[in-house]
Amino acid sequence: MAFRSTGPVTLSLPPFRGVTRRIILTALIAYFTLAAMAAFLPGLWTTLDYLALLIPDQVLHGELWKLLSYPFAGDGLLNVAFALLSVWFFASSLEDTFGSRWLMEYFLVTTIGGGLLASVVAVVLTRYVQPDIIPVAMVGGLWPFVLATLIAFAYRNPEQPVQFSFILTLKAKYLAAIYVLLYLALSLRGGDRLNAVVALMSGLCGYLFLVLAPKRGVRVGVAEQWYGLRNAYYRWKRRRAAKKFTVYMRKQGKEVSLDEDGRYVDPLQERRDRRDPNDKRWMN
């Protein structure tokens, strides 16, 4: 499945709708709510921020809500602004191509899966490899999801040109590589190794979703499999009932004709279908 556009994609803001809009509005509400609390209720803000941020050891000890809350917590204004603009452009493009359900599944898989894998990796490395290889830290923000959307954008359309304000044009695969490498470099240079691990694990989950999941999403794929199994069961029941009916009618001295799916076949129509079209004796 490919984007409808064949020319360069201009990096301008697309329509504000669907799952993309819900993600952005949720992030804005969370940011301004926490900012207001930080100004007027600093004690409550500290508690809520701590409860929302991703902390690997706490996640593995049962605080699983952090896997959904960390994208909407703990980031500065500029980080939030640039992350939301990136989500607006890239996620909306994916949503236009694959649908809202697909994008919601992709968000949940990359966010929850990336956070969980990063937590496991961080705990294993600090306990069994080197205690200070990933310093105790907290992660928050939408950037891991942004990088995952870029990976999806580039994976589906690697040669798609993306144009920045009619000045600079880059292919999607190069744009994704620059975003990912720059983000990882800034995180590692700033000593935030856990953030880099979360971004890598979110990208890995996104890539696996793109490769393994049905094109229209897991929900649609599971529904198709379920209805396929259900219909196969109903066809088996119909064939079984047809076989019993045939045996019963034969005992009554009558022959009935049924097709392979157990449907009744009219003998007259069957004889008509078997006629040789070149035989003019049956024609009027």
User: Which residues, including other chains, have CB under 8 Å from residue 135's CB and lie 6 or more apart?
Assistant: 191, 193, 194
- Give the start-to-end residue ranges of the domains of the chain: 9-216, 222-282
Task: Tell me the residue type at 238.
Answer: R
User: Could you list the pLDDT tens digit for every one of the 284 residues in the chain?
Assistant: 444 555 555 555 678 889 999 999 999 999 999 889 988 888 888 888 889 999 998 999 889 999 999 999 877 888 889 899 989 988 998 999 888 999 999 999 999 999 999 999 998 888 877 777 776 678 889 999 999 999 999 998 888 887 765 567 778 888 888 888 988 888 888 778 888 899 999 999 999 999 887 766 555 555 555 556 667 677 767 777 767 766 666 777 766 666 666 666 656 555 555 555 555 554 54
DSSP string covering 138-185: -B-SSHHHHHHHHHHHHHH-TT-EEEETTTEEEEHHHHHHHHHHHHHH
* pLDDT (0 to 100) of residue 95: 92
Tokens of 173: 């695969």
**Total residues belonging to the chain:** 284
Phi, psi of 258 (to 5 degrees): -125, 145
CATH of 9-216, one of 3.30.9.10, 3.40.30.10, 1.20.1540.10, 1.10.10.10: 1.20.1540.10
